[in-house]
Amino acid sequence: MKRRTFITLLGGAVAWPLAARAQQSAKLPTIGFLGTSTASIQNQWVAAFVQRLRELGWIDGRTVAIEVRWVEARPERFAEIAAELVRLKVDVIVTMGVAALAAKQVTSVIPIVFAVANDPLGTGLVASLARPGGNVTGLSGQAPDLAGKRIELLREVVHGLRRLAILTDADYPAAMLEMDEAQAAARTLGLEVATFEIRSAKDIVPAFEALKGRADALYVCIDYVLNAHRISVNTLANVARLPTISALREYVEAGSLMSYGPSFPDSFRRTADYVDKILRGAKPGELPVEQPTKFDLVINVTTAKALGLEVPSTLLARADEVIE
């Protein structure tokens, strides 16, 4: 998706004539945004990023240019799009997760800021959290560390939970890391665990057929394929009467029971602060990797009722958002 389409989607474009914008853009510092999924998932996150940039004085078309590309849930395009942004000679690349690794392999010069990355140290994105070194920095997602908390939340709603299914993308390292953490946490709580792996969208339906009758609830590890097909995932889960939890609010909007994880809009807002510092001369390797500070619990009470579950009032009171 090209930049003007993206800005129109956000609904906040500065209504400058195209020719004037082109003339301005030629003189402006440029941010390359490598969208790791689809606009439908990430628009709210990116809107938060653009809004924070505006607050910091970086207004698209006036003081900065933003080149946006979406991989449309096709991870094999990460390197291709990263290379395109490098050819455009952008001043900084903003992305997340595995896409940041792909960008790092393409350029060791252009600063790269990841809005979310699970285990940035272990995956080799940075040499140190305190002093990343090189051309990459950003925010850790901490998703694996929260797996146990999600399972505990499921137990508060699904009384008598004994069997947990975990759905993950075997080709996505961060999802596999999250699966390992969820497995360990579930077994510590005395639950039976069955894992189901996919590698592409065509594997989703067979995975649900395989887990039929083998679980009381479902834990979905987030990744680009499952995120892009979250409506199908939740439809299949609800038909199978499986209460489902994940890290993303967008799953709950699509019919999942609940989600708990870092606030992605907040992470993208904080990413704008990194970009601001870099555009003003800071070196990414000297900007420490930060942890998320805002976590959201989102509950879909309509889904709970449809599944015959009653969400405790104490849990509803703790929720950051309740979807009805």
Rounded CA separation 253/30 (Å): 33
Asked if residue 245 lies in contact with residue 165, where contact means CB atoms within 8 angstroms, the answer is no
Q: How far apart are CA 233 and CA 171, in angstroms?
A: 18
Q: CA nearest 82: which of 59, 114, 58, 60?
A: 114
Domain ranges of the chain: 3-141+263-294, 144-262+296-323
Phi/psi-derived region of residue 287, left when phi > 0, alpha when psi is between -120 and 50, beta in every other case: beta
Enter the tokens of residue 3: 């930049």
| Domain 3-141+263-294: CATH architecture, name and number where available | 3-Layer(aba) Sandwich (3.40)
Closest among 222, 226, 180 to 203, alpha carbons compared: 226
Sheet holding 65-70, edge to edge: 65-70, 30-35, 92-95, 112-117, 136-140
Rg of the chain over all Cα atoms, to the nearest angstrom: 20
pTM score: 0.84
> Given this chain, do its domains 3-141+263-294 and 144-262+296-323 carry the same CATH topology?
yes
Dist CA 251 CA 230 (whole Å)? 6
Burial of 166 (0-12, 13-18, 19+ CB in 10 A): buried
Place of tokens 């009171």: 317
The answer to whether the beta carbons of residues 228 and 204 sit under 8 Å apart is no
SS (H, E, C) 17-73: CHHHHHHHHCCCCEEEEEECCCHHHHHHHHHHHHHHHHHCCCCECCCEEEEEEECCC
Assign domain 144-262+296-323 one CATH number from 3.40.50.1820, 3.40.50.2300, 3.40.50.1110, 3.40.50.10860. 3.40.50.2300
In the DSSP assignment, the letter for residue 284 is G
pLDDT in tens, the chain (324 residues): 444 444 444 444 333 344 444 444 457 999 999 988 777 778 888 999 999 999 999 999 999 999 999 988 788 899 999 999 999 999 999 999 889 999 999 999 999 999 999 889 888 899 999 999 999 999 998 655 689 999 999 999 999 999 999 999 998 888 898 999 999 999 999 999 999 999 999 999 999 999 999 999 999 998 888 988 999 999 999 999 999 999 999 999 999 999 999 999 999 999 999 999 999 999 999 999 999 999 999 999 999 999 999 999 999 999 999 999
